Amino acid sequence: MNLLLLIPFLFLEVTYLKAQENTQQPNIVIVYADDLGYNDVSYNGYPQIPTPNIDALALNGVILRNYYGEWLCTPSRGSLFTGKYASRLGLHHSVIKGGEDSGLPLEEITLAQRLKTLGYDTHMIGKWHLGYSTKERLPVFRGFDSFYGYLNGLIGYYDHTYYQKTDIPSKPIYFGKDLYNGSTPVKGRDGEYATHLFTEQAEHVILNHDTSKPLFMYMAQLAAHTGNFYRPLEAPPETVSKFKYIEHVNRRIYAGVLSELDDSVGAVFKALQKKDMLENTVFMFVSDNGGEVDPELGFGSNFPLRGNKMTLWEGSLHLPALIWSPLLNLNESRICQQFMHVTDWLPTLYNLAVTLVVSMLRVSQIINNCYSSSRFLNQPKIYNSKISVTNDQRITMFTEFLIEF
């Protein structure tokens, strides 16, 4: 069944929304899925792997139909946090490899830092992938009060390790645990499913939040990215067993990964509800780049869009994205057909946070306009790109953690 057939095909219109004052800054929650393809959410029409929690947010919120990200993880996250094209950050070439002495330029002020200055409590969970060669590059030095997650591009779903082949004869394999609380390695959680760990942490952040202050929570999930190459996708057997009707075993496991991701979204939503924070929350569910469609790796789907992640085709860049918020006061779901890019989040959310009297009209204007970065930021700098890795550039502090276990 194509869910879209059930939805009136309407543009978001400012005039639709009623003005209603809200004297508090809104809580901002971003769930950033990894390598989730356009067709990997069932609200986009393909029912093989149901994503009921994500669909419920989409069908009670605003579906950003023409949302575009970047082609890979690092550039997407750099753009998200700065509102700048990855080419302006020196992050457009590829992803940051293990131990690489590069990252988001420290001169950049991140979205978390900006929200922090506006009085937000800021928490990050999951994947960073914006550099960790010095402590100043870590999330807790880039605007986040807390960080619970991993620093490289992936970890094993159960063993939380990162594995990478290198071109260094003396150290051909870069391997170790990659799970941190702040800058401290997490120990004693081996064998626990990563999506469960991150969900537990999100619940902890929400349920312990001081509601006299607004919350910014950035939850960058491992799903539906692959883990290490020798065990690319993993999900709890009882979850995978729900998808016996899917013939190919790898696609069946992928369904389990997606199902766990969807359950996590539901759990985060429920925690916000339990804490009585929902009414003043703007909740976004967004992918960083398109799906990996190789059956031996990710087995995602970008249909009907062409191409895989790591390409410049639509399948790599045109992504699932939605906004849900009671502040929108929607009586019906809305599909926003306007072009929106990952660089638009920072100015959009900053404008939302800086407006002390938030109204429905204001929120709708923000979404309707999808504020352009160039209208908000100063003339962007151009950074020299440093993506080559040499022995000398192999770093120290966190590399040691990686090989310690």
- Where does this chain bind Ca ion (CB under 5 A)? 34-35, 73, 288-289
- Is 129 part of the annotated catalytic residue set? yes
CA within 13 Å, CB half, 305: 29
Decide whether 75 or 176 has the Cβ nearer to Ca ion.
75
Q: 92, 123, 129, 160: which is the annotated catalytic residue?
A: 129
- Between 133 and 316, CB nearer to Ca ion: 316
Residue type, 285: F
- Bond preceding residue 224 cis, omega within 30 of 0: yes
Closest to Ca ion by CB, 54 or 335: 54
Residue 73 annotated to the active site = yes
Minimum CB separation of residue 157 from Ca ion in Å reads 15
Name the minimum Å distance from CB 273 to Ca ion: 29
Single-letter amino acid code for the residue at 194: A
Mind telling me the catalytic residues? Answer: 73, 129
